[in-house]
Structure 1
Amino acid sequence: MALDKLLENEAQAEIERLRADAQARAEQIVADARERAQALLDSRTRQLETARQAELVRARSAADLEGNAQRLSASDSLQVQAFKVSEQYLHSSVTSPEYPQILAKLIAEGLQVLPNAEAVESALGEHDAVRQALAQLGRTLDLRVNEQIKTGVRLVGPGGKSSIQNTLTGRLERVRGELAPQISRLLAE
């Protein structure tokens, strides 16, 4: 019986050793699986975080673009409004008591360029102011109606072959390009 017991103990020891080896291998397999699962989870988490950050950047960029577009649109709208108000003010200035003095300066400037002018054209509603301006300058020119010439005058040379137009709204139009950036800057501030 001692041999049976010895064989049984050896078999039991072998079973225990195999069981311990199997247990160790199973624990290693589980540990490896956990490590691979954690690595996969970490990788996927990084991918999702990268995608989230990219979406945030895109969303911020889109919001910035939209905000800039709205500011630009508002600035353009305010600029158009500023020029419209300026133009309305210039048109209303033709009824001011100072308007003949303004016309005298416009006519004098025109006469510097076209000294042999024989006629002056303006809108009918401005003829009284033109007459006063010509009187201030001590000049007599043929006064003609031209309803396209408002807020100023058009001087016509001999035979109508040359002319020069000098109006307040024309001056505003000529400086519009120069004033636009300054107005934009003021609006931005």
Structure 2
Amino acid sequence: MSDLTALLEHEASAEIDAIMSEARERASAMTAKAEEEAEATKATRERSTTMQRDALRVRAQSAARLEASALRLRAQHEAVEAVYAAALERIEALIEDATAYEPVLDALLAETLAALGGEAATEIVVAERDVASAQVLATKRGAAAPVVAGPIHGGVRVRTGRGSSIENTLGGRLESLRGELASEITEVLFGETTVA
């Protein structure tokens, strides 16, 4: 799993850097605009009576902080979604490159077979385009189960005689890391940690 995580991190790092730079610029512009609006609101309110001015200033500052916070949260969300989308694109490109994808498919199959804990696989399900290479890889791994095409993308699903199955896909792994990635992306871009 750490090899796959490292592979994902390596392949996505350049894309992440570009997205993070753009997200920083957008977040800075959004924050500056919110601060300008807050200052304009504050200046307008100061022309009121002393009591009203004080009350309105407090409200304007609170509204500006709330607006800036909302813009910052939106920028964080957009940055995380952009990085996630870029990672999915990189995964799709990897899957489409048969030469680069075959060792990944082999690793996913090996991990899934190992997760059976000695129980025999009764069926190995892969995407239709991966059946031929998965048959070779399964034989190499000593799995006698038939390899069949099924509704799976970017990985394998292994079924056992007990009716259980284990699915191991790149998309599934990325999704399982989504919360952790969101926290890391937010920390890198905005210097703060979020709770996923």
| TM-score, reference length from structure 1 | 0.67
Q: Which moved more, 1:131-140 or 1:83-92?
A: 131-140
Report the Cα offset of residue 101 of structure 1. Answer: 1.1
Structure 2 equivalent of residue 150 of structure 1 = 153
CA deviation digits over 1:108-158, x for unaligned, max 9?
1111122410211011122234234324434443111112x1110000112
Structure 2 equivalent of residue 40 of structure 1 = none
CA deviation digits over 1:92-118, x for unaligned, max 9?
211331311111111111111224102
Contact 2:121 2:143 survives alignment (8 Å): no
Structure 1 equivalent of residue 115 of structure 2 = 113
Report the Cα offset of residue 173 of structure 1. Answer: 0.8
Contact 2:125 2:147 survives alignment (8 Å): yes
Structure 2 equivalent of residue 122 of structure 1 = 126
Larger radius of gyration: 1
Gaps of 5+ in 1: 1-46
Structure 2 residue 58 is the aligned partner of structure 1 residue 54: no
1:98 alignment partner, one of 90, 97, 100: 100
Partner AA of 1:184 in structure 2: T
Structure-1 separation of matches of 2:64 and 2:176? 36
Structure 2 residue 77 is the aligned partner of structure 1 residue 79: no
Report the Cα offset of residue 79 of structure 1. Answer: 1.2
| TM-score, reference length from structure 2 | 0.65
Structure-2 separation of matches of 1:108 and 1:146? 19
Contact 2:113 2:121 survives alignment (8 Å): yes
Structure 2 residue 167 is the aligned partner of structure 1 residue 165: yes
2:188 alignment partner, one of 176, 181, 186: 186
Structure-2 separation of matches of 1:175 and 1:138? 30
Contact 1:104 1:136 survives alignment (8 Å): no
CA deviation digits over 1:29-50, x for unaligned, max 9?
xxxxxxxxxxxxxxxxxx9334
Q: RMSD over aligned Cα, in angstroms? A: 2.0
Structure-2 separation of matches of 1:133 and 1:55? 70
Contact 1:94 1:126 survives alignment (8 Å): no
Gaps of 5+ in 2: 1-47, 192-196
